[in-house]
């Protein structure tokens, strides 16, 4: 079973999101890092620290996506695992920063929209490639997800994973929190993750491991992501999620510019919906302007 119903309302909200996504394509939000950098996040500063030091900036980002049409908003907790936070000397604040990040999103979402609590990779390799044991990884992800669930997340979104074993460890840990878990992996232009995982293998193994939804995010733009999620849709009835980058990045005048504008992302949003993708959004480079165009396209397409 991918999730269990507890006494808290969050599990039922996760169920409501899945029922809505099965009935029609649901629009999520875009990039968090891109937006925080535009709002002044300096290089080398832990993004999750802004959950407690600059909460108004996070509220503004969430509000911009909601105003643009997002039905699901993601939290600023992607790098919130204890192991990832250790790089900033903040590992002992993992619970605090995750709880704060979800609380900000929950306040912005209210009762009409959904909160997906973001969990990203640890940055370490599991044994035998690295020194991170399976049990430690599961415990680290469980700690993060438990704080997120207690703060009111509707679902956990395990995203941008390239190692299937680490993704399954994250899923095993997150499922302990008792709310639905989605899992998306980052594929390259060849249709595989950096660790060589193809879409079919990812979809089957992750759903077998308990994921309520699977899909692709980051890595590449909408064209390549379309093919990945098409292959997943053909072999599973689970929720399918597509959150591509807004095209490929280019450096212009010292700034990173992404090649897919709002109109292109909007056109692909319709194609994702026609394919049977349940949740559509964007990753790096995707702004509220992109999301607004996607919302308009989905409403009329």
pLDDT of residue 5: 29
pLDDT of residue 288: 98
Pairing type for strands 72-74 and 279-280 reads unpaired
pLDDT of residue 11: 52
pLDDT of residue 257: 80
Cross-strand bridge partners of residue 119: 158
pLDDT of residue 157: 98
pLDDT of residue 255: 74
Q: What is the CATH number of domain 9-217?
A: 3.20.20.330
Tokens of 105: 């999103």
pLDDT of residue 251: 75
For 37-47, b where at least 16 C-beta lie within 10 A, e where not — what string?
eeeebeeeebb
pLDDT of residue 206: 98
Q: What distance in Å separates the CA atoms of residue 268 and residue 265, rounded to the nearest whole number?
A: 5
In terms of Cβ atoms closer than 10 Å to its own Cβ (0-12, 13-18, 19+), residue 150 is middle
Q: What distance in Å separates the CA atoms of residue 118 and residue 154, rounded to the nearest whole number?
A: 11
DSSP letter for 33, please: H
Q: Which among 203, 222, 218 is positioned nearest to 272, based on CA atoms?
A: 222
pLDDT tens sequence for the chain (301 residues): 232 323 333 456 999 999 999 999 999 999 999 999 999 999 999 999 999 999 999 999 999 999 999 999 999 999 999 999 999 999 999 999 999 999 999 999 999 999 999 999 999 999 999 999 999 999 999 999 999 999 999 999 999 999 999 999 999 999 999 999 999 999 999 999 999 999 999 999 999 999 999 999 999 999 999 999 999 999 999 999 999 999 987 777 667 788 899 999 999 999 999 999 999 999 999 999 999 999 999 999 7
Does the pTM exceed 0.85? yes
Q: Can you give the residue ranges of every domain in the chain?
A: 9-217
């Amino acid at each position: 079973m991918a999730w269990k119903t507890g006494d808290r309302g969050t599990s039922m909200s996760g169920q409501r999101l899945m029922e809505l996504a099965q009935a029609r394509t649901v629009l999520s939000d875009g990039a968090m890092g891109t937006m925080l950098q535009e709002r002044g996040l300096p290089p080398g500063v832990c993004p999750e620290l802004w959950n407690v030091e600059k909460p108004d900036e996070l509220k503004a980002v969430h509000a911009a996506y909601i105003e643009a049409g997002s039905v699901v908003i993601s939290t600023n907790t992607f790098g919130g695992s204890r192991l990832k936070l250790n790089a900033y000397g903040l590992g002992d604040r993992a619970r605090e920063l995750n709880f704060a990040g979800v609380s900000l999103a929950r306040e912005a979402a209210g009762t009409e929209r959904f909160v997906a609590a973001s969990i990203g990779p640890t940055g370490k390799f599991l044994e035998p490639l690295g020194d991170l044991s399976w049990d430690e990884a599961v415990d680290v992800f469980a700690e993060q997800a438990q704080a997120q669930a207690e703060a009111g997340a509707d679902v956990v979104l395990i995203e941008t994973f390239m190692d299937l074993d680490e993704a399954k460890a994250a899923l095993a840990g997150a499922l302990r929190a008792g709310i639905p878990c989605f899992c998306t992996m980052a594929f390259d232009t060849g249709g595989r993750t950096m660790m060589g995982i193809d879409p079919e293998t990812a979809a089957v193994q992750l759903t077998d491991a308990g994921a309520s939804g699977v899909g692709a995010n980051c890595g590449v733009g909408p064209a390549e992501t379309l093919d990945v999620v098409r292959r997943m849709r053909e072999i599973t009835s689970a929720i399918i999620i597509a959150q591509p980058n807004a095209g490929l990045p280019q450096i212009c005048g010292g700034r990173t510019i992404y090649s897919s504008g709002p109109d292109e992302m909007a056109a692909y949003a319709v194609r994702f919906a026609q394919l049977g993708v349940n949740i559509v959004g964007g990753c790096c480079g995707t702004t509220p302007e992109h999301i607004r165009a996607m919302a308009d396209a989905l409403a009329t397409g």
